[in-house]
Homo-oligomer: A and B are copies of this chain.
Amino acid sequence: MTSASGLDLSLYLGKARSLVEEALSRYIPEVGEGEASACPSRLSSAMRYSLLAGGKRLRPVLCLMAAEACGGDAEAAMPAACAVEMIHTYSLIHDDLPAMDDDDLRRGRPTCHKAYDEATAILAGDGLLTLAFEIVARDVRPISAGLECIRVLAESAGPCGMVGGQMADLQAEDRAEGEGSLAELEAIHRRKTGALLRAPLRMGGLIAEASEASLSALDRYGRAVGLAFQIVDDLLDVEGDETKLGKRVGKDDGLGKWTYPRFLGIEGSRVRARQLADEAVAAIQPFGERGQWLRSLALALLERDR
């Protein structure tokens, strides 16, 4: 990323990430052992361990950018941005468990159940999911937007969204190689990762009290960016650098998972990702100059190396 706008985006993202991380840190109760009504310190420690482990902070950044694109205030969108990152983190903790994907490494560090233990990891995930809703209910204003945000977040993360996508993904692993279609793959991704990428965009729009037309433009953007993001993820798993990624590469293939390269080939996957990024950019055309960060981000996602 050497272009002027690429450089601007890096600065924007650096600043946004550090604001998000400060807010996340404030949200996790850090209290002394022995206070009977407080969060046990082992639990808050495990929640912080996973939540503050770095990462791209893509979902909260999308929330802040969407609020700004709709003429709203990024600060007002921060509680919703933190909530979606907590839900993302809980899903990673549970997905990494031995009974699920059984991963030892996440973002270059031991996964939560390796650093603590399985019971603590299950509870840390449960705690983050629950806290996310508490934060939106308490801190998002106006209250009509707060309630609508909770609905969006719960639908995206729930049995017909992310949790359903994870279930469908596990079931797909059990099927014979060669089975399955690109349409099925996309249906899994739309739920497993896509839903929770669209949610922060809609929440940002809701908090900025955006029009239906703007909310629907954000949704089209999110749908395209979500799939593009997943294709690049699959490509990185084939070609990526384990050190930069902080996780094992090639494991999707080993587990017999369906991936874009398997269906479209490597070059075909690249072309599809590019098309989707262009679709995303077209969707937010109506936002004009205020949509600049969303636009830069969609294009930058194609070039990410971790």
Enumerate chain A interface residues (CB-CB to B < 8 A).
29, 36-40, 42-44, 47, 90, 94, 97, 99-100, 117-120, 122-123, 125-127, 129-131, 133-134, 136-138, 143-144, 146-148, 150-151, 153-155, 157-160, 163-164, 166-168, 170-171, 183-184, 187, 190-191
Q: Are B127 and A99 in contact (CB under 8 A)?
A: no
Q: Specify which chain B residues have a CB less than 8 angstroms from the CB of A166 in the assembled complex.
A: 123
Q: Specify which chain B residues have a CB less than 8 angstroms from the CB of A143 in the assembled complex.
A: 143-144, 147
Q: Specify which chain B residues have a CB less than 8 angstroms from the CB of A133 in the assembled complex.
A: 133, 150, 153-154
Q: Are A126 and B29 in contact (CB under 8 A)?
A: no
Q: Specify which chain B residues have a CB less than 8 angstroms from the CB of A90 in the assembled complex.
A: 126
Known: A39-B159, A47-B159, A94-B126. 14 other contacts (CB 8 A): A36-B184, A36-B190, A37-B191, A39-B160, A43-B163, A97-B122, A126-B163, A133-B133, A133-B150, A134-B151, A134-B158, A137-B148, A143-B147, A147-B150
Q: Are A43 and B130 in contact (CB under 8 A)?
A: no
**Alpha-carbon distance A136/B151, docked complex (angstroms):** 9
Q: Are A99 and B126 in contact (CB under 8 A)?
A: no
Q: Specify which chain B residues have a CB less than 8 angstroms from the CB of A191 in the assembled complex.
A: 37
Q: Specify which chain B residues have a CB less than 8 angstroms from the CB of A129 in the assembled complex.
A: 126, 129-130
Q: Specify which chain B residues have a CB less than 8 angstroms from the CB of A144 in the assembled complex.
A: 143
Q: Specify which chain B residues have a CB less than 8 angstroms from the CB of A146 in the assembled complex.
A: 147
A interface: dominant SS: helix
Q: Report which of B97, B154, B183 forms a contact with A131, defined as CB distance below 8 A.
A: B154
Q: Are A37 and B99 in contact (CB under 8 A)?
A: no
Q: Are A100 and B127 in contact (CB under 8 A)?
A: no
3 cross-chain pairs, A with B, having the tightest CB-CB distances, nearest first: A134-B154, A99-B118, A36-B187
> From residue A94, how far is it (CB to closest CB) to chain B in Å?
6
Q: Specify which chain B residues have a CB less than 8 angstroms from the CB of A167 in the assembled complex.
A: 40, 42-43, 120, 123
**Alpha-carbon distance A157/B47, docked complex (angstroms):** 15
* Number of copies of this chain that the complex holds: 2
**Alpha-carbon distance A154/B132, docked complex (angstroms):** 9
Q: Are B164 and A43 in contact (CB under 8 A)?
A: yes
Q: Report which of B97, B127, B171, B183 forms a contact with A164, defined as CB distance below 8 A.
A: B127
Q: List 15 A-B contacts (CB under 8 A).
A: A29-B160, A36-B184, A43-B159, A43-B163, A43-B164, A97-B122, A99-B118, A100-B122, A123-B167, A130-B157, A134-B154, A136-B150, A137-B148, A143-B144, A143-B147
Q: Specify which chain B residues have a CB less than 8 angstroms from the CB of A123 in the assembled complex.
A: 94, 163, 166-167
Given known A-B contacts A147-B147, A190-B36, A163 and B119 have beta carbons under 8 A apart: no
Q: Are B158 and A130 in contact (CB under 8 A)?
A: yes
Q: Are B130 and A44 in contact (CB under 8 A)?
A: no
**Alpha-carbon distance A146/B123, docked complex (angstroms):** 26
**Alpha-carbon distance A39/B159, docked complex (angstroms):** 5
Q: Report which of B117, B122, B127, B183 forms a contact with A159, defined as CB distance below 8 A.
A: B127
**Alpha-carbon distance A144/B147, docked complex (angstroms):** 9
